[in-house]
Amino acid sequence: VELTVFEIISIGNELLNGRTLNTNAHWLSSRITSLGGFVRRITVVRDELEEISSAVKEALNRGSDWIITSGGLGPTFDDLTLEGVAKALGLELELNEEALKMIAERYREMEREGALKAELTPHRLKMATLPRGSSPLRNPVGTAPGVLIRVNGSYVVCLPGVPSEMKAIFDEELAPLIESKIKRAFRAFRRARLVGVAESDLAPLIDEVRKRFGVYIKSHPVGRYEGKCRLELDVYAHRPDEEEARRLVDGALEALKEALSGKAERFELE
Amino acid sequence: VELTVFEIISIGNELLNGRTLNTNAHWLSSRITSLGGFVRRITVVRDELEEISSAVKEALNRGSDWIITSGGLGPTFDDLTLEGVAKALGLELELNEEALKMIAERYREMEREGALKAELTPHRLKMATLPRGSSPLRNPVGTAPGVLIRVNGSYVVCLPGVPSEMKAIFDEELAPLIESKIKRAFRAFRRARLVGVAESDLAPLIDEVRKRFGVYIKSHPVGRYEGKCRLELDVYAHRPDEEEARRLVDGALEALKEALSGKAERFELE
């Protein structure tokens, strides 16, 4: 199955010093997976030009189809994402008229609401200063627009770090584009819960079943209960055909259940 | 200030397909920061040999002092961390007698509790098969030991992905070692909460104050309340001397408060 490969780059010191749990990358990987994409890697880097630029370059060199960054699009000195991306791609930064319009409109709206004065200060113009050739992505809930750049066969997308802004731009602007470009493979998935068998005892059976059915099986130990080992078994199949993918997952689970009857105390499908 | 640089590598497909929120990396970065370390990067890769090995190699090439992996130490076919690390470091895998003793003892204990039979199957021996020269780290709550490898001037440490096991090995085995090796810099930190000033309007003041006091200031927008912008301002200073670090942070906050009096509606120190 041919896959469309994504990488996520999360930018922000707060993600590396224990301040902030990286829920953005989790949300993005979940949404991308359900759109049919394959997330190969998540990289979290600090608000430093070299770190951002090298992370983007490395992802491009791995041949990933989509590179999605979040964080570092705001007005402060340490919002360096666009400078880092421009450096990685060898592009100049320039004032983007479309982005400027979006930002000016947003500040006028906030002025009407009494939150601030709408003048376009240098720190605000910074948010409209994008790598040459960028398309801004409308931010319906905040100020800094997202940014989309086509690079040879790949896309680099920059989203804000504020979760509500990142999600809104992803869902409203990006998801439709991803859906129209993605190589579709259906991903069937079911989970079984198992009591009374240790992961190490299950390992040979998993090996056998995953080879027989061409599925991926991942076991997750979830502690012990009254001395008994408990496991979750996630079974996945990626196939162009939905029916076939489901059939393989169900077949693998049936085979596991049969092989474990009399050994496992419980085998429940979720 | 000279820092001891850490990288975290999280290994597991479940961290990339939306199944699991990466709380391990967050916990590790928080603990490492409070021990005085500097976390430069977090990389999340799939359960694939090439991905693991390239991530470890890249971190070593960046000259990081400590590389801490979590995940992929278990008994199943897709637990590939030790193979990936061995490949990255050019080391053979071999049965480690000390690790074997730990594992055998653990299984005998579980047999006494009636959870399983203690025989050392190939899948269990796999957990004692470590890169040559490794030191196993006792796992007080699970089976797979952690692994410590000294590589030139750096340390590569492999911890399990099950959070309770990762935390126990870190706290009991690793933290004392890190504390004895780390270059100590005191990190002073205080947070202010601010209402009624937009991040873009605050940006020039932040620039000025951070330069004047030699501190790091990060502004985090936290939405609007009754139309007013709300911000959190995190102020940090790293200095060999604790007293000096605290003085700089307090001075910077005082200067911010003064400059904002009459502009911000509220300025509260946490």
Residue-level pLDDT at A2: 80
Per CB-CB distance under 8 Å, the chain B contacts of A142 are 221
Does the distance separating the beta carbons of B75 and A203 come in below 8 Å? yes
Residue-level pLDDT at A228: 87
Using the CB atoms, write b or e for A179-212: b if 16+ within 10 Å: eeebeebbbbbbbbebbbbbbbbbbebbeebbee
Per CB-CB distance under 8 Å, the chain B contacts of A216 are 13
**Percentage of chain A exceeding pLDDT 70:** 100
Span A177-201, average pLDDT = 91
Residue-level pLDDT at A254: 96
Top-confidence residue, B98 or B186: B98
Closest partner residue to A221 among B25, B162, B206, by Cβ?
B162
Confidence of residue B20 (pLDDT cuts 50, 70, 90): very high
Per the prediction, chain A carries an average pLDDT of: 94
Per CB-CB distance under 8 Å, the chain B contacts of A74 are 199-200, 219, 221
Interface of B with A in 162-201 (CB under 8 A): 162, 164, 197-201
Does the distance separating the beta carbons of B76 and A198 come in below 8 Å? no
Per CB-CB distance under 8 Å, the chain B contacts of A47 are 218
- Please calculate the CA angle A263-A264-A268 and round it to the nearest 5 degrees: 145
Which contiguous run of DSSP H or E holds residue B58?
helix B49-61
Poorest-confidence range of A75-84, A111-120, B13-22?
A111-120
Per-residue pLDDT at B186 exceeds 90: no
Tens-digit pLDDT profile for residues B58-99: 999 999 999 999 999 999 999 999 999 999 999 999 999 999
Confidence of residue A116 (pLDDT cuts 50, 70, 90): confident
Locus of tokens 């992961």: A199
Identify the CA nearest to A186 among candidates A246, A106, A139, A251. A246
Identify the CA nearest to B130 among candidates B72, B170, B86. B86
Interchain CB contact of B25 with A (< 8 Å): yes
Q: Which two tokens stand for residue A130?
A: 């994008």
Per CB-CB distance under 8 Å, the chain A contacts of B43 are 41-44
Identify the CA nearest to A151 among candidates A135, A173, A137. A135
Interchain CB contact of B262 with A (< 8 Å): no
Tens-digit pLDDT profile for residues A30-84: 999 999 999 999 999 999 999 999 999 999 999 999 999 999 999 999 999 999 9
Per-residue pLDDT at A1 exceeds 90: no
Locus of tokens 């989970």: A191
* Position B43, amino acid: T
Tens-digit pLDDT profile for residues B147-156: 999 999 999 9
Query: In A64-147, which residue ranges form alpha helices assigned H by DSSP?
Result: 81-89, 97-112, 122-125
What pTM was computed for the model?
A: 0.93
Residue-level pLDDT at B224: 81
Residue-level pLDDT at B132: 98
Does the distance separating the beta carbons of A31 and B17 come in below 8 Å? no
Q: Cβ contacts of residue A186 below 8 Å, gap of 6+?
A: A36, A238, A239, A240, A241, A242, A245
Does the distance separating the beta carbons of A218 and B14 come in below 8 Å? yes
Interchain CB contact of A262 with B (< 8 Å): no
Interchain CB contact of A135 with B (< 8 Å): no
Span B203-219, average pLDDT = 95
Top-confidence residue, A229 or A159: A159
Residue-level pLDDT at A226: 78
Q: Cβ contacts of residue A124 below 8 Å, gap of 6+?
A: A75, A103, A107, A143, B200
